Chains A and B, each alone.
Chain A
């Protein structure tokens, strides 16, 4: 079956702009989590959505937000971009029952 799909793969934005990233989970998975990967901070949890509700949230400022649609697809939005937001953003989908978290290829965001 198809894996986790993230679009776009690459983005370049200017400071102050906003950006929206998309994640389509594996068919049948209702949990979608987002992670930020940077050389300095490593992999950090942003938030998790389940059945269109944010279930958990990491320690990121309110500029980082997300949502999930009825088909389980999720979007992540970052407003007022800062240079430090440059990172690889990874999305993971998880079965309703089960512990495996499957990751997409990520969206590499560069803020200039």
Chain B
């Protein structure tokens, strides 16, 4: 089965840019989504099809995908951005989530 690897945690200072990576074999040839999940809440789609932002998601959130790595970047990071972030990719007829990355803003 296809596997996606994410760092368990990323820390960033307020106002700086956070980068969360997601790695998998040939990931650049697949379509990647990113979800944000805050404690006790359902996931929220923040990036889809590698770099597209749903309506209502701030421009501070951006995505890229090339080679074996996709990256979610959050610029001008705010304390409200603290959450778990999950990448997801799909291949033929199944989808896979990465293990998740806890973003800490401090």
State whether these chains interact: no
Residues of A that sit less than 8 Å from B by CB: none
Query: Which B residues are closer than 8 A to A by beta carbons?
Result: none
